[in-house]
Amino acid sequence: MKTLNDQSIEFPFIAPHLRNMDNEHNAAKSPAKAAHVNMMTDCIIANMPADGLRSILRGLLGENTSNTAGLTKLASKYLVNTKPSFIPELFSTSGGSPQPTSDLQRIQSRYRCLMGCGFGFESVELLTTVIQQIHNLEWDERATEGEEFLDILATIDGDIVQSITAVQKLLLTSSGMRPMNTEDSKTIATLREVLHACRSIAIARGQDFPFDRGLCCLEKLIEGTGNEIQRLQKNEIRRTNGFQSSKSALESFQLGPAEVPRMFMGLWQFSSPAWGTASRSKIDRHFRKHVDYGLIAYDMADHYGDAEVTFGQFRSGQEDSEKIYCATKWAVFEPIQVTKEVVDANVSERLTAINATSVELLQFHWQDYNDHQYVEAARLIEMHPNVQSLGLCNFDSDHMCEILESGVKAVSNQVQFSLIDLRPTFKMAESCRKHNVKLLTYGSLCGGFLADKWVGKPAPNLFDENMTPSHRKYFEMINIWGGWILFQELLNILARIGSKHNVSVSSAAIRWVLDHDYVGAVIIGARMGISEHIDENLKAFSFILDVEDKKAIQNVLNRSRAKDIFEAMGDCGAEYRQIRRKVQRPNAQIESGSIAESLNQPPTATRLRGEIERQTPPNATSSGVLDTSPPQTAQSWGSEGLQQVGILSREAQFGKFSLENILSVPDVPRPHPPPRSPTPSADSFNDPITCNMLSFPVALGLFDRVFTRGAKSTEIVQAILIFTYWKEPAEIRTWLLVGYAIRMCIELGWHELKPVTQKPRTSTDELSIREARNIERTWLVLFVYDRSLSLQLDKPWMIDQNNLISKASGWYQEEYAVPGGDLLLSAFVSLRLISAEFLELSSSTKSDSQKFRSEILSKLLNTELNTWEKDWLPKFEDEMVAPPQQFLVNFYGLHLRLLLNSYTLQQSLKAAKKGSAVSKSALWQCSSSAIGMLENITKVIGPLKQLYFVQDSVHVMTAYAAIFLIKLLLSLPKNLRSDLETQSLQAILLSSDTFSEQCATQMTGCAMQSRFLKNLVGKYHRLKSHANNQVREHGVHSHQPDNPTSLESLHNRMNTDVGTSYQVPRPLQSYQNTGELTDSTSINGSTPDFSTELLHDKEIWDGLLTDAGFWMSEGNLLSDNSLPR
């Protein structure tokens, strides 16, 4: 449960929903931007071939991944502006079998772009119109033209699978798949209806149903359990009971309890139609052929399109199904809470997908090493009764060993390994030998480049028609490894070896990998139904590399930059976590690529020192002393006292720039570097005192080491605050980590800190004084945060008031204080002391005298807040205080006034049921505070163009202020509501416009806030309209509460046609202390126009607000693509 507080929340960066993009509004409101394109640049764009532009664009994205957001945004706008007004005829029926018209390719390109931009439901809508034109067409499957038409239908079938995958990504949350809203439910239902109609026609004609794969994926999405998949088949398919080893004619090895061949067939190609698509029947024929040749082991994953479902249905239909081995994956890319129930649910989902009672090998990928739950997750997988063996996927050596040394048994680790990527030879090899783990290697053929057809060929055009995503991925690896010329030398060596042994280049490359004792099997990508190379692949088992062969290969490898790849990319799997380290190798020639560029950096004295130096902010000198001249680079940012939204964004995580830290010493000009201090906190390369920053990599290291080494320091406390104060939305460890930081501070003696007037002056050294103030500043920030968390989580606070805290009102006036920043902190501490005092008093209020005491406390509260404003607000008019800081202190003060007065207002409303008058003072204090907060957004921070940088708590508090006003309006009769309604709705809508004007893209917190505020006003008008209809239908309101059935009916009328499986979820946590109006039956003798039970029913409010874009119980705005579907 979260209430209004100072917690910062990072919003997900997801492409907007196309149907919610208002072009005319955006055009009117968006600020003008520089859009001039140099004439020579325009000449390039106008004359470069399309495939050349694609190659250049990919290069730009590779060099700077931040360009991806801009590409997605502009592509989204293009798709909106070019939306066709109608769909032309896509097939011609003249001359026998149907033929595609030229418009089909254009429509296919469009819906594929929609998928890529995150518009999954829009792509489904467009696909549905295509299929509607197909289901009445007739063709002869035996004729050549009919076969060609079936190939076209197979590509559309693959597109359906891809569109469902895009929808699943939109619905996926850390706790599972969220429900769809009404409109999107209709979209999916329409596609299902059309596909079933096509299926019925195909059965009636005795033809194969061409969209079997797509319909299976769709049913799995709708049903969730996958049971419907089986019912789609003409005959019920039994579940496979498990693998039984048998003697293989191929080279084999022991993998847990199973003996399997040393070649697995990989089904990654199912994840995208870019590798081609085929009908289910062709796919099954290729599966069968591989099995007949002894290739019985298959590697797949939960995110490889419909690979699991297609494989599972094939295997279940085979008489020798128990001889076919399944290795699938559970990949955790987003934060989750690991529990036995979560693991059981994911294992069950895998079993349903592969249609089996157990899985032979479940390979586990965990994205975020900072979240150490991966050890517990691996343990639960290994212990699961329906998992025969646990494997790992893309784990590096250290984290793999951590799991194994905890007592968990893993039999394999799937990593990239080839003649081009030698990273497993540096560290992973010894770890595998030590723990008896076998590697399952992918990329061993470098995406198809290690093949005869590339011998003697020039570097490819990556966007030729026959280039696949694998080619594009591994071509960059080749460039990093040594470039195309050296690669040609390697290919020539492999070709000579192949000629010697009568095998291909590919077979020689596979054999080289297999000859490492820690390698269990290579995974060879299979384009099932498209092409197969069974004979060629099996020749890898027909020979061995002799000493001469290995020496010739090694001579080329010695001239490669294999070690640099290990240094630049990190250990196995690091490329997926994008951990980059800059290194330099003398005289190395690098051709292109983002990673390659990182290798071409100047050498540094030590890696750690050099990394920190490269991360020093643009306005810091090499000595760490700040240059006060204005920053000149595009990477710097000036937020004038505000923090950038998403401090833990991917850009920061990957070390692309450093972030100013409010806890470290500020931008105070000093003519010379201060004398060095012998204390550990003054270490030259991570000292926040001299560097004026605590960069993410430094915080990351401190954060990781705190638990393993039990270290304690000021910087570690700051690191914990950074990891919790600016956190990911799904982060759930905040309370525990802050508690750990507080205990650490107590061990350091901070609870006994005294104000400067009560302690002897021990030093006049500037650095020592600044270090002491840095500790005090951290303790005060921790106090404010502790009280905020106590308020929002309804748990006891942990930091008592010591002398420093109680005297904090003068702390900002001490020597070396930070202008503006320390003043703001002192004001916040004073504000938290007021709230703590009031809450303690109000919690002791008894029911008999509750209203009377509440009114007295309200008067005392408002008197204290008035005094606080009188004392503090004028101080923020000083020229040294940044305008955004003036905004913050006023905004948070208004929020506290709203929050605490709401208690009195609620008691007053409860007393009104017995005929008492509502407290006009509380009503005015609450409404004026909420409106004042919104007006501060519009009139104070809005003109400063700084909304993009505000703490996310400003977004949350703004949302709560708007919610309060809407609930208040719904509780008042018409005679009291009219004036307040106009003012409130105007404040909400103006705030929405202000946020909209300042959102960098449609995927930021400002954009989500703008959409939520508009949706909230829309919900209010719909409720009001419904209430008016009730009055017209029934004459007057009943004074009895509506029954649950009518309430549910009201909810469903506001979210029409939402089936039971798509209902908005009911948050489990209660919503407290937010100024919620829980009762509103009679106010001064008047009756509200709305159902009293509706206002009282928290679950319905939670559902309605969630549908509008705000998760009440979590205090979190939802992106447009994260809204309940």
3-state secondary structure 909-953: HHHHCCCCCCCHHHHHHHHHHHHHHHHHHHHHHCCCCCHHHCCHH
Under 8 Å between Cβ of 980 and 945: no
Predicted confidence (pLDDT) at residue 65 exceeds the cutoff of 60: yes
Predicted confidence (pLDDT) at residue 810 exceeds the cutoff of 60: yes
Higher pLDDT, residue 575 or 126: 126
Under 8 Å between Cβ of 781 and 721: yes
* CATH number for the domain whose boundaries are 252-448+507-544: 3.20.20.100
Higher pLDDT, residue 56 or 379: 379
Helix boundaries (H) for 97-233: 102-116, 120-134, 144-171, 182-205, 212-223, 227-232
Section 141-160 average pLDDT: 77
Under 8 Å between Cβ of 1086 and 1080: no
3-state SS assignment for residue 338 = coil
Residue 680 — pLDDT band, cuts 50, 70, 90? Answer: very low
Q: Tokens 């910087």 label which residue?
A: 715
Higher pLDDT, residue 744 or 974: 744
Q: What is the pLDDT of residue 1098?
A: 56
Predicted confidence (pLDDT) at residue 438 exceeds the cutoff of 90: yes
Higher pLDDT, residue 755 or 695: 755
Higher pLDDT, residue 746 or 1026: 746
Predicted confidence (pLDDT) at residue 1083 exceeds the cutoff of 50: no
Q: Which of 42-51, 231-240, 478-487, 605-614 has the highest mean pLDDT?
A: 478-487
Q: Which of 92-106, 447-461, 791-805, 1068-1082 has the lowest mean pLDDT?
A: 1068-1082
Under 8 Å between Cβ of 75 and 113: yes
pTM score of the predicted model: 0.47
Under 8 Å between Cβ of 890 and 873: yes
Dihedral pair phi/psi, residue 696, rounded to 5°:
-60, -45
Q: What is the pLDDT of residue 1086?
A: 45
End-to-end CA distance of the chain: 23
Predicted confidence (pLDDT) at residue 818 exceeds the cutoff of 60: yes
Q: Which of 224-233, 257-266, 329-338, 348-357 has the highest mean pLDDT?
A: 257-266
Predicted confidence (pLDDT) at residue 723 exceeds the cutoff of 70: no
Q: Which of 127-141, 593-607, 851-865, 913-927 has the lowest mean pLDDT?
A: 593-607
One DSSP character per residue, 269-289 reads: GGG-GGG----HHHHHHHHHH
Tokens coding 1015: 């949706």
For residue 358, give the amino acid letter: S
Q: What is the pLDDT of residue 951?
A: 66
Q: Tokens 């994260």 label which residue?
A: 1122
3-state SS assignment for residue 293 = coil
Q: 433 CB contacts (<8 Å, ≥6 apart)?
A: 517, 518
Q: What percent of the chain has pLDDT over 90?
A: 20
3-state SS assignment for residue 259 = strand
Section 153-160 average pLDDT: 86
Tokens coding 1026: 């419904």
Mean pLDDT of the chain: 72
Q: 220 CB contacts (<8 Å, ≥6 apart)?
A: 226, 228, 229, 309, 353
List, for residues 875-908, the tens digit of each pLDDT value: 877 656 777 777 888 888 888 888 878 877 777 7
Q: Which of 282-291, 403-412, 610-619 has the lowest mean pLDDT?
A: 610-619
Section 143-169 average pLDDT: 80
Q: Which of 154-163, 176-185, 470-479, 751-760 has the highest mean pLDDT?
A: 154-163
Q: What is the pLDDT of residue 419?
A: 94
List, for residues 615-638, the tens digit of each pLDDT value: 333 333 333 322 323 333 322 233
Distance from the Cα of residue 1117 to its chain's centroid: 14
Tokens coding 214: 């797509």
Predicted confidence (pLDDT) at residue 1042 exceeds the cutoff of 70: no
Whole-number Å distance between alpha carbons of 835 and 898: 11
Pairing mode, strands 8-9 and 726-727: parallel
Dihedral pair phi/psi, residue 800, rounded to 5°:
-75, 160
Q: CB neighbours (10 Å) of residue 778?
A: 20
Q: What is the pLDDT of residue 1070?
A: 30
Q: What is the pLDDT of residue 545?
A: 94
Q: What is the pLDDT of residue 18?
A: 35
Whole-number Å distance between alpha carbons of 831 and 824: 10
Helices 547-557 and 484-501 sit at what angle, rounded to 10 degrees? Answer: 170
Section 813-828 average pLDDT: 83
